[in-house]
Structure 1
Amino acid sequence: MAYTHLSKFDEDRLLYDLPISIYKKLVNKLNENFNYRKLQAQIKKTLPLVTTKFNNHMGAENIFDELRTKMCSVGTLGILLKECKLDSVWLILYRPEPIIIVKHPSDDMVCNTLQLAIGEKLHLSCKAVGTLLSYQWYHNNIKLRGQKKRKLDITINSCEDAGEYNCKISQVIEGEDEDEEALNSVLRTESVFVTIPYIPVCMQQQPPILLEIEENEDLIIKCKARSHPKPCYQWFKDNTMLEGKTSNVLHIKQSNFNVGGQYYCHISNSMSEVITKKTLVLVHSPREKAIAKIALIIANDEYENLQCLMKPRYDAMRIHNRLKKIDFKVICFLNLSLEQMRNAIKIFSEVLTKGVYGLFYYCGHGFKMQESHMLAVDTPESFLRKDSICESELLAMLQQKDPTLLVTILDMCQTVPQRECNPDIYNEIPEILETNINYKSRKNLRNLVQAYSTSSYCPSYERESSQSGLYAMHLSNYITQNIPIIKVFEEVGKSIDKVLKGTERNQIPMYSTNTTKHFRLTDAIQSERNPSPMLNNLNELMAFSKKSFEIRLSEIDITAKITVSLMNSYLNVLKVSVHYSGDLKLSFFTSATIKSNNLSCNEHGKCYIFNPQICQGPLIISISKNGITYLHKLHIQQYIPPILKRLQN
């Protein structure tokens, strides 16, 4: 088929006679995403005599040289491009074909109205001819997400799905020059109207039977019903109508003791009416307050002798960000040795005094023998219990100064080590630390919450399809909610149980608590005139501010900006970024390489230094241009948070 009326050039014009600018555009467009391979296949199919010299490694330039040698014309190339559906290349030689709708959604129907019941499928289709077409279906002039094909297949799920459906067919052609605006053509198909038969009121969500709220907290009660026509709502308290409360959500701001009582909703339409279950609202006395809320997060995934994990660093970042939202001061570390883990816990324990809420979150490898054990990144392949930190050691350190609330979360496996891999651990006589004896002998240990991603002797799973681990993903959904701490872990367990399938059902989150008050992680922090010296000391230890400075490399006439920051708030991971313009070659190295230093670089001028406090010597930034190399020394010890020095001692 010829497209003479659309061609920008004479179709009999030979390819070698095209302007060089057009030639370059054709070559560049065909080289994109290896488009030339489609053209090559079409030439072999249509013009076999032209393909005598073709091979699988030819690029667009070689194919064009062969076509020009064979005296191919613009019209021949246009047909080849159209047949292999390379419209973006075809448009370099031709003007776009106008949109013509050849099938409207109502063409197969007796009339343009359909009556569908809730749960039935709506199938519509349309078709247009033209160049570079895109489809977008609309419902009542609102875009339907994800419906960008010729066919619309959806389920009628509610009465709101009634109404007008049509499709917008668009053609967007980029201008030939950068300054030329894109050509945009749009047509709408004829509409199809969907109606839904009348449905009596049917409850979908009842309000809770009991709702406990705090003083000065908003009262929110929800219910939901389905019907057609749409249901009307009217809320009542103790059989008295509440003026203006006519939505499915009852919202009364800033509650006080006067809002206590029984609430229900009257729901009706022209066909029927129902009354919801009654909700008893109880208002609690004033909330607990903390003098500080502090968390320690340790994520281990790059193990030296054990299988590496995929998710802990992402889980830790997720929990870190949620805790920051509810005003926790968060100490976050990645990939610590056993000594570093103990030092981190010791630093954390020093600020867990009376009035402080403390939260400890660990994600990494672990096991269960009598009690839970956490494994550091330098754990040997055949490990013993003494190579780990057990839960009693952890609690002994964290409860020395009697924090008002302590929450420990172990996001790890609770399985028993395999005897064939770790035979010595079964003959080991565990070392009993004096601190553990003191901890276990103490009485009246209260306000302790212990949570586990899985139950005793069971695994904890990671999913490759998800960026976060299963437990952390669900925990992050509830940890910031304004509910009692016990309720947080109760809801996490319910939420996980709903999604587990197959072997994953072996993962059953557990928690235990002996709290005597209604603590919440969202409790407010009361201001103190004289903050604790230990809290001030912690602030000084964690002190870090991003630093940026410029360096001028006169030898190669380049100015570069160097920025030193933390990677995703991990206190022991520095990110060094070099910002520059022009064609430079960058590399990073240290004068003394240490295995555990973990210097990681990428091709975009960024370098990550894990545990920079143990890096010997400066970081060397090598910048090369035109054969000239400039070395800049960055003394990273000047930039690390002070806490890292204590982490190493």
Structure 2
Amino acid sequence: MGDWNLGLGTLREGVLSKLADLLDNPKCGWRQLADAVNEQPRFRCSEKELMSCSLQVLSAKGSPSRLLLAMLADRACSLGFLLQCLKKMEHREAVQFLTATVMEQIRITVQPQSQRVPEGGRVVLSCQASGPLGLGYQWFKGKEEVLNGSTPELVLSPVTVNQQGYYICRVHQGENFVFSQWAQVCVARSDSSSAGSSSGFMLSSVSGLRITQQPRHMAIAEGDTLCLECRAEGNPPPQYQWYHNKQPLLPANKPTLKIPCVTTADRGQYSCRVYNLYHEVWSDQVHVEIGPGFDCGDSWVENTEGFTLMASRQLSQFYATDKVALLMGNMNYQHHRQLRAPMADVHELTNLLRQLDFKVVSLLDLNRQEMHSAVTEFLLLLDRGVYGLLYFAGHGYENYGNSFMVPIDAPASYTSEHCLWVQDVLQRMQERETGLNVFLLDMCRKRNLNDDIIPQPGPLKVTANIVFGYATCVDAEAYEVNKDDLSNGIFISFLKQRLMEDEKVTVMLDRVAEDMGQCEITRGRQALELRSNLSERRALTDRIQSSDCPAATSARNLQWAIAHVLPESRYLQFECGVKVQLGFAAEFSNIMIIYTRILEQPRDIVSCCAQLSDFSEGVDVDLKLTNQESPRDAGSLLFTFDAAARPELPSLYTRLRALQRLQKELTFTVCLHYQYSSMDEEVQEKQMVSVGKPLVAKLNLYQPRLPRSFSASSSSDLHTFSLPESSSFPEGLQSSIPASETSSLGSASTCWSYYSPPGEVHGSARHVNVPEETFSPEFLERDAPQPLSAESKSLPHAHLEDLSFQFHTKQNFHSC
């Protein structure tokens, strides 16, 4: 097949799967493709569709890229447009694969030959090629196209001295083309002097550029010298330019690339561009791994997924047995100045970490008990080799090298007794034998004069896997940018530009520090401080390779899912004939949005709306912001709703906060207000609804946790645990648990647990829940309005230096 106008759906399944494999990466993959296709409005993907793609990673065989390609195929995306987008992304592997698959290769079967003829003679240069129908030919003398040179044979008769030189033929079909080898035409003058001089002219057959020696994959230790070599031949002589991670290295314009005393920043992909006046070729792209104690004597091979491996042992890539992140943002303090940035910051970081396959729990506005409980449950998700990341945005302080996170209920003169001690969390994380411990603390580090206590942490293990990223220096403040209704902390404004980079964590954070140091408004006021003992090249982009115990991995996935279960969307039928849809969306792990909309109403009813009221005790809801016409009016600054598609089906929105404090099942009343055309008075009908405990409410974080001992043997906790009988797992999740595991899925003291107070009853059909990461069928209906979608309004990195904010005014900048 050679028609680029054919649809994407015409490709074979094997071809689509291979293309999806090439695009399933965070750096140059499906998200970049989704951005590239946006130039055509009909191919634009909604936030819901992108989230659906992202959540494919939760399935063992799921592929975000494969789902995106299916969406594009359904919208009749052509192969030509897909190729154009892949070129725009500079994804060379995908471009080459698609071109080779779609377009039959053009092959030169007869090459033009160099010739030496007398002046006035006849020269015939022939070039023949095989390939798709409709091949075209273009002849060039040097860089200039030859007039009338559009056939397989170029005839020069009678030939003149001005026509001697190098000739080449370009064979093309559509956007696909190849060049023949160069052929030299030498013309000898008729006079003797000229003939004598031309007799010494060396006639040679000049071919296009050809690489004779390719660079090779390497693994070396830090401090060694990196040496890569690429050799080529051609006429004119070739020139060279080396590239590292697609960026040119300067100066690096020789066949041999040498970098003395390498560091982990030098690891990555290397390639060489070879070119001359008329042509260019690229060498193979090779991977260079740099780490402690690598044995360079082993050979390299390439597996079917394209990853470079050592033949004797895998050294090219570290991996995590799982990735878990707890993000906490405190804004609405009871006795201290309110903050604005944590909501947008936690939201930004949640979206980015999910793209890196992290299981993320995002919580806003926690008191002391809730912070302790959340951290305890977070620690229980950790295990041998797991990457654990803890992020906190809010008020904080540091005394004597100890950092403390301040909860929202801390008194005016708080001490360490009222706060969460970071070093204690670190010690407990180490006991879980994690592969990487990352702390990102977006808070002030000023001294707390009210606190004279010097806490004594227990002995820390000697493990080279700890990274601390402080948003500011010791005894300094952290700042947030106030803009419109949303804010971003300075730290996240820069971190989000670098977080997805495939670099060692410390290298990535170093670059964030450099970016902050180059910004005019942060220079001299706030500087990132990095503390680390990480000796391995561990990166947040490392792939997940499950441990030897699949039961523990499955259990961890299910236990994490407990805290991310939304109520099932439902339909309420009222006696008057009105049908109401009740839907749910998660803004954070402890904040949920409920919406109602009228699906059906009799013709004699002229006005109708469904409002929520009488919420169960404990739920945090601002009654002034309930039943609003948009999520923004309901208090959500991060969600938008496009009702333009179905203006006849308006919705009302209510935002529920602090679900972690919900002690009983969530119940509320749906009150239907309607009016008949023949009546002036409004009529009401009510239905009571109970939706169980949504999202993080199931964890009962308001309850104190029993003291737990995390020993080295505790890494087996997830291997032998049991689910409470009252667990309300979704049916789909329950069916995936082997029978042998459902009887032994951990106790409350050994897992990210589900707590069921006495008297709670679950398990009925109306309490069945679905995970946050899945969408109800009505969201996918063509006639349904667009779903709730996350829309970032945070301050872009590129605009930071353009702002005229001043710190001393405290109007646009506030320290945490």
TM range (shorter): 0.5 to 0.7
SS where residue 563 of structure 1 aligns? strand
Classify the secondary structure of the residue corresponding to 1:312. Answer: helix
Q: Residue in 1 aligned with 2:540?
A: 521
Shift of 1:305: 2.1
Is 1:606 the equivalent of 2:653?
A: yes
For residues 225 and 670 of structure 2, the distance between their equivalents in structure 1, rounded to whole angstroms, comes to 60
Select which of 608, 623, 631 maps to 1:584: 608
Q: What SS is found at the alignment partner of 2:479?
A: coil
Q: CA deviation at 1:400?
A: 2.2
CA distance, structure 2, for counterparts of residue 310 and residue 331 of structure 1: 20
| 2:320 aligned to which of 290, 294, 319 | 290
Q: What's the CA shift for 1:311?
A: 1.1
- Structure 1 CA distance, aligned partners of 2:424 and 2:541? 28
1:573/1:328 CA distance change after superposition, 3 Å: same
- The structure-2 alpha-carbon separation of the partners of 1:638 and 1:394, relative to structure 1 and needing over 3 Å to count, comes to closer
Q: Shift in Å at residue 310 of structure 1? A: 0.8
Amino acid at match of 2:685: Y
Q: Post-superposition shift, 1:603? A: 1.4
Partner SS state of residue 474, structure 2: coil
Query: Following superposition of structure 1 onto structure 2, how do residues 377-416 of structure 1 map, counting pairs within 5 Å?
Result: 377-416=408-447
Query: CA shift at 1:606, angstroms?
Result: 1.0
Q: Secondary structure at the match of 1:487?
A: helix
State the Cα distance separating 1:301 from its structure 2 match: 0.9
Higher strand share: 1
C-alpha distance in 2, partners of 1:241/1:530? 43
Give the one of 687, 700, 706 matched to 1:632: 687
Match of 1:495 in 2: 515
Deviation at 1:645, TM superposition (A): 2.6
Distance 2:468 2:432 in 1: 18
In structure 1, what is the Cα distance between the partners aligned to 2:492 and 2:392? 11
Equivalent position SS for 2:482: coil
- 8 A contact 1:613–1:637 mirrored in 2: no
Q: Is the 8 A contact 1:336 1:377 kept in 2?
A: yes
Question: Residue 616 of structure 2 contacts residue 668 of structure 2 at CA under 8 Å; is this kept in 1?
Answer: no
**Stretches of 4+ aligned residues off by more than 6 angstroms:** 210-214
Deviation at 1:340, TM superposition (A): 0.8
- Partner SS for 2:286: coil
Instruction: Name the CA distance, whole Å, in 2 between partners of 1:251 and 1:309.
Output: 52
- 1:464 corresponding residue in structure 2: 482
SS of alignment partner, residue 398 of structure 2: strand
Aligned to 1:548: 569
Counterparts of 2:282 and 2:446 in 1: how far apart (Å)?
Answer: 47
Cα-Cα RMSD: 3.8
Cα distance in 2 between the residues matched to 1:250 and 1:297: 47
The answer to whether the 8 Å contact 1:235/1:242 transfers is no
Query: What CA distance in whole angstroms lies between the structure 1 residues aligned with 2:339 and 2:433?
Result: 34
Listed as ranges, the matches of 1:127-166 within 5 Å are: none
* Alpha-carbon distance, 1:516 to partner: 1.9
1:178-197 deviations in Å (ceiling 9; x for gaps): xxxxxxxxxxxxxxxxxxxx
Residues 612 and 636 of structure 1 are in contact (CA less than 8 Å); yes or no, is this contact kept in structure 2?
no
d(CA) in 2 for partners of 1:372, 1:380: 18
Alpha-carbon distance in 2 for matches of 1:595, 1:542: 17
Matched, 1:535 2:582: no
Q: Structure 2 counterpart of 1:548, which letter?
A: S
The whole-number CA distance in structure 1 between the counterparts of 2:385 and 2:655 is 37
Say whether residues 1:222 and 2:247 are aligned partners.
yes
Alignment-mate amino acid for residue 220 of structure 1: N
**Partner of 1:202 in structure 2?**
none
**Is 1:319 aligned to 2:335, yes or no?**
no
How many residues of Structure 1 are paired with residues of Structure 2 in the alignment?
391
Q: Displacement, 1:515?
A: 1.1
Whether contact under 8 Å (2:430, 2:461) holds in the other structure is no
Q: Distance in 1 between matches of 2:476 and 2:425?
A: 21
Deviation at 1:467, TM superposition (A): 3.8
Are residues 1:622 and 2:671 paired? Answer: yes
Select which of 493, 507, 510 maps to 1:473: 493
Q: Deviations over 1:370-404 (max 9, x none)?
A: 22211112222332221111222221332221211
Contact in 1 for aligned 2:596/2:611 (Cα 8 Å): no
One-letter amino acid of the structure 1 residue matched with residue 598 of structure 2:
Y
> Aligned letter for 1:386?
E
Question: What amino acid is the match of 1:622?
Answer: C
The alpha-carbon distance between structure 1 residues 437 and 238, as it changes in their structure 2 partners (threshold 3 A), is closer
| CA displacement 1:197-234 (0-9 Å, x = unmatched) | xxxxxxxxxxxxx99899xxx95343499xxxxxxx99
Q: Give the TM-score, by structure 1 length.
A: 0.54
Q: Aligned to 1:506, what secondary structure does the other structure show?
A: coil
Task: Give the TM-score normalised by the residue count of structure 2.
Answer: 0.43
> Secondary structure of 1:462's partner?
strand
Shift of 1:499: 1.3
Q: Quick one: structure 1 residues 393 and 546, their matched pair in 2 at CA, closer, same or farther if it must change by over 3 Å?
A: same
CA separation in 2, counterparts of 1:536 and 1:288? 21
Q: 1:242 to 1:575 in 2, by over 3 A?
A: closer
- 1:88-167 superposed matches below 5 A: none
- SS of corresponding position for 2:538: coil
Q: 1:587 to 1:595 in 2, by over 3 A?
A: same
Tell me the distance in 1 between the aligned counterparts of 2:227 and 2:618.
55
Post-superposition Cα deviations, 1:621-640, rounded to whole Å, max 9, x if no partner, equal 33312211222323232444
Question: Are the aligned partners of 2:598 and 2:610 in contact in 1 as well (CA < 8 Å)?
Answer: no
Q: Tell which structure's C-alpha radius of gyration is larger.
A: 1
How much has 1:450 moved relative to structure 2? 0.8
Measure the CA separation in 1 of the matches of 2:687 and 2:571: 11
Query: For 1:393 and 1:241, how far apart are their aligned partners in 2?
Result: 49
CA contact (8 A) 1:333 1:572 kept: yes
Shift of 1:552: 1.6
Per the alignment, do residues 623 and 514 of structure 1 end up closer, same or farther by CA in structure 2, a change over 3 Å counting? same
Distance (whole Å) between structure 2 residues aligned to residue 393 and residue 300 of structure 1: 20
Which of the pair has the greater relative contact order for Cα pairs under 8 Å at 6+ separation? 2
